[in-house]
Chains A and B, each alone.
Chain A
């Protein structure tokens, strides 16, 4: 994925809808794509994951053992599909528990390190405000 493709993937997330193009590009510069095979696991310890294709089952770390299968993982959480963002809340609220996400089919994700995400948002108050507004809208809409 080149820079623009990564930026497109980010722009496809409703949460990033209000970010200025220059900010999306700066995030895309720091983003690294990855293709996950079924059963492959990612965590939100230090990375924000944006689902581009496929689906991942998600669960809080505390509820799962380290060797949980897809089926046991599915029991603990929902499914993240294209456009979902995993781990973003930890960027602004580091005490938020980390999650595990396990690909249930071949999936494409984009990872941005939490520190990179923080850097970009701290550099640009307007971007941070836009993201806050998006968070507020999600809260009002009652979706998560």
Chain B
């Protein structure tokens, strides 16, 4: 914000409105004296038309000449016309010409000067400060109204134009001074990022169309209300009483408007979404009008008109100001003038003309006219809402955020289901797995699947039996039995026997036995089914199933739990977890049904980033999720965070994610909220209680981190840096929580897309300054009603002025950071500072970086680091110095501090692609494959960073095309 330019601008528009009201008072008094009150409707039309013509002329001229010249020329013309007007009147110039000229010139000057005030503030400051500049305009009008009355009594009416001319001279001076202030201190409200096109995009054009329609409709409603008000006024008051009533009305209106502009409007604009703000004016006008229509009276139409006049400036003009904000500066200034000075007046003039043609009948039936006005107001409200949505789209588009209705996967038709089932049983195993995933994501009901159990294709029947085995439904047992009874394909029969066994049905075991003699997979299924249903050597069968079918292994333990001791089960699972072939099954059983004694096996696997453990979590069914949930509090934060991340791909994740959402550990909360967002976007319903708790916790965590920032004056650079990174992660978490709530609580059924908030979080945390400001506006639009979120983000974005203090406030929400800020991890600080330099590690969570610092090896290398063609399992990050990568036939590539080499070996186990040497002693950090895998499980940004490094290497001449 350019404060000096803003203050000068506010003074300028205050005085300009003083001039406008003073000159209009003079001109209208002259008009009434010449023509009488009967010609008032013509005055309205003439004024509106004159204003529109003057605005259009201003637009045409200002597109061909510099706005500085045009604006000053306009003000000089106003000064000259005002000065000459008494003489012109005496010379016989018709008063109507003077009225139109003075009103049009002063009003267009007001619009032009308003753009100069708007140029001095940008972004959120504009939302706060422009209503205050609007209050200055109101004040100028009020002073002029009151002052002119007094002046006329003391010095006569002809003093008014001279007063207006003198004040215009002051405005011209202020205009010149303010322009210098803008040149010196910048014009944030009229500056766009480099490269911004001045041509409106299609979204912006759609927005403009809506704004034009709104302005026209608003003008029509205003005219209808005006006409009824004037008619009622004239019926009620005559002579001096009429003048006093008019003065009182304008005084009261301006008083209310002034208070709103000072106190309420700035707060409204920084907390509520535009659809809310633009709805206020038409809805209030409609409400007042409805009351007036029910019982027409002067008081009620006065209330309607006051509401209309006050809200036009308090909310409609300010909304329009915001809705124009996505435009480039040039078109924004131009259309602001045109909408206010040409489009609105034309709508008003058109309505006045129609009412004049209708004649006295129009006001003879106030209820009918009110009904017409209400009808137009309803259309105005609807068009306003559509326009506000267009504004939101235009606001978010430059950030790449496009709202779209999420597909409701639960609404798939029978034909689609058939095709999916066919694909799920197809020979292409990958497509079959994808088809099954699609059915799981769509939560296809078992009863829908049962209809296809006699499908012609055996593969389809197999897939359906498998699906039914995953969600056994006792009510479908009869249909299942009938289908298995006639099954003639071995693979399908084995799957059918499994489905029957897991549904508790043993009636077809005999048939299976007879086929089992010929087919191994049927024999295996029969044996597993017998043990599942009738018992036997359960633990031996469990071992086999851990290798063959982890899902059935889980079901077996559930079915025969009473047949063995918990210690025996624990021993079998412990042993199976050691064997690679059975490990996945063992971990699945532990996660879904395992005894407490095996919990540590799962925890250790999760902490190590074991993919089998992740798969076990992904494969949990609702019963398994319920089994795991009580273990969560006893698991380490690392294991809980791993579970939270794994659940992003789990169909049954909602209960567990709900349980993880309420925790305070930042890593767990981060992962759980990200997963909750994924679940919410898939259309699943998350429990409202944990979401509310997560919202509260994430907001509190950010506030406490900001409190800590305010006390960080004496903290080490490392602590301050880690605090800032932690704060950014808190901001993201808070917005994710808000997004999950928006999706899950507010409008899940309506398919509201939470992606906008998630994307806004990304731009807020990592974007450019201009993008951050825009992202904050997107947050406001997407999360209207949560003003505390906006307030805390604004607090974060304001530069901190810390004082000395302690890190005690952080202890409750981030133990690691509290220790670091308290100086308890001083030994670690040099490593952390060094590791933060490469972009690869710039944003990952502090504890994950600390783990990396502890596990990775710091080395100083000289000469050859590794040779092309050699095996390797480490990557190297240059901390200080330079490495050179040498490839035959290519110039050496220098890798300086922050650069990475050897990452291909970590990702692909490939041989070294180049020889890398250190021409002089160079400090590097060696990260082996296991360390990278473990840390990247905790910090996905690490993988993203590495991918970005790789991306930079891929075909520099065609950097963005990847394929076969």
Interface residues of A (CB under 8 A from B): 2-4, 7-8, 11, 13-15, 20-26, 28-29, 32, 44-46, 51, 58, 60, 77-78, 80-81, 83-90, 92-93, 96-99, 113-116, 118-126, 128-129, 131-133, 135-140, 143-144
* Contact B960–A89 (Cβ < 8 Å): yes
* Contact B434–A4 (Cβ < 8 Å): yes
Q: Which residue of the partner chain B has the closest CB to A5?
A: B419
* Contact A85–B963 (Cβ < 8 Å): yes
* Contact B960–A99 (Cβ < 8 Å): yes
Contact of B962 among A8, A84, A118 (CB under 8 A): A84
* Contact A21–B434 (Cβ < 8 Å): yes
* Contact A4–B961 (Cβ < 8 Å): no
* Contact B962–A22 (Cβ < 8 Å): no
**Assuming A11-B431, A77-B958, A88-B962, what are 15 further A-B pairs, CB within 8 angstroms?**
A3-B407, A3-B412, A4-B423, A8-B434, A24-B434, A25-B434, A32-B404, A77-B961, A119-B681, A125-B940, A128-B940, A136-B904, A136-B950, A138-B962, A139-B950
CB interface residues, B 813-830, toward A, < 8 Å: none
Query: What 8 pairs between A and B have smallest CB-CB spacing?
Result: A144-B955, A84-B963, A46-B400, A21-B437, A125-B940, A22-B649, A115-B759, A93-B951
* Contact A84–B961 (Cβ < 8 Å): yes
Shortest distance between the CB of A53 and any CB in chain B (Å): 14
Q: How far is the CA of A36 from the CA of B621 in the complex (A)?
A: 42
Q: Which residue of the partner chain B has the closest CB to A2?
A: B416
Q: How far is the CA of A13 from the CA of B964 in the complex (A)?
A: 7
* Contact B402–A3 (Cβ < 8 Å): no
Q: Which residue of the partner chain B has the closest CB to A111?
A: B402
Q: Which residue of the partner chain B has the closest CB to A144?
A: B955
* Contact B951–A96 (Cβ < 8 Å): yes
* Contact A24–B437 (Cβ < 8 Å): yes
From known contacts A22-B441, A132-B947, A136-B907, infer whether A97 and B960 are also in contact, taking CB-CB under 8 Å.
yes
Q: How far is the CA of A109 from the CA of B570 in the complex (A)?
A: 52
Q: Which residue of the partner chain B has the closest CB to A113?
A: B402
* Contact B940–A137 (Cβ < 8 Å): no
* Contact B962–A15 (Cβ < 8 Å): yes
- Stretch of B30-38, B523-531, B535-543, B672-680 lying at the A interface: B672-680
Q: Which residue of the partner chain A has the closest CB to B396?
A: A115
* Contact B944–A128 (Cβ < 8 Å): yes
Which residues from chain A contact B442 at a C-beta distance below 8 Å? 3
Q: How far is the CA of A77 from the CA of B952 in the complex (A)?
A: 18
B430 at the binding interface (Cβ < 8 Å): yes
CB interface residues, B 467-481, toward A, < 8 Å: none
* Contact A115–B936 (Cβ < 8 Å): no
B648 at the binding interface (Cβ < 8 Å): yes
* Contact A119–B758 (Cβ < 8 Å): yes
Which residues from chain A contact B430 at a C-beta distance below 8 Å? 11, 21
Q: How far is the CA of A84 from the CA of B962 in the complex (A)?
A: 6
Q: Mark B888-913, 1 if CB is under 8 A from A, else 0.
A: 00000000000000011001101001
- Count of residues in B whose CB is under 8 Å from the partner chain: 68
Shortest distance between the CB of A103 and any CB in chain B (Å): 15
* Contact A78–B958 (Cβ < 8 Å): yes
* Contact A25–B960 (Cβ < 8 Å): no
For chains A and B in complex, what number of residue pairs have CB atoms within 8 angstroms?
Answer: 208
B948 at the binding interface (Cβ < 8 Å): yes
Q: How far is the CA of A86 from the CA of B963 in the complex (A)?
A: 8
Main secondary structure, interface of A, reads helix
B643 at the binding interface (Cβ < 8 Å): no
B401 at the binding interface (Cβ < 8 Å): yes
Q: How far is the CA of A121 from the CA of B943 in the complex (A)?
A: 10
* Contact A83–B960 (Cβ < 8 Å): no
Q: How far is the CA of A25 from the CA of B645 in the complex (A)?
A: 17
Which residues from chain B contact A137 at a C-beta distance below 8 Å? 908
* Contact A125–B936 (Cβ < 8 Å): yes
From known contacts A4-B434, A123-B678, infer whether A115 and B907 are also in contact, taking CB-CB under 8 Å.
no
Which residues from chain A contact B419 at a C-beta distance below 8 Å? 2, 4
B1 at the binding interface (Cβ < 8 Å): no
Q: Which residue of the partner chain A has the closest CB to B913?
A: A140
B954 at the binding interface (Cβ < 8 Å): yes
* Contact B416–A29 (Cβ < 8 Å): no
Q: Which residue of the partner chain B has the closest CB to A23?
A: B649
Which residues from chain A contact B436 at a C-beta distance below 8 Å? 21
CB interface residues, B 421-464, toward A, < 8 Å: 423, 430-431, 433-438, 440-442
Which residues from chain A contact B962 at a C-beta distance below 8 Å? 15, 84-85, 88-89, 135, 138, 144
Q: How far is the CA of A15 from the CA of B961 in the complex (A)?
A: 11
Q: How far is the CA of A129 from the CA of B906 in the complex (A)?
A: 11
* Contact A123–B648 (Cβ < 8 Å): yes
Which residues from chain A contact B963 at a C-beta distance below 8 Å? 13-15, 51, 80-81, 83-85, 143-144
Contact of B907 among A7, A26, A133 (CB under 8 A): A133
Contact of A92 among B675, B678, B944 (CB under 8 A): B944
**What are 13 inter-chain pairs, A to B, with CB distance below 8 A?**
A3-B438, A4-B434, A4-B435, A23-B649, A24-B434, A85-B962, A85-B963, A96-B959, A121-B944, A122-B941, A126-B614, A132-B950, A140-B904
Shortest distance between the CB of B198 and any CB in chain A (Å): 15
Contact of B943 among A22, A24, A125 (CB under 8 A): A125
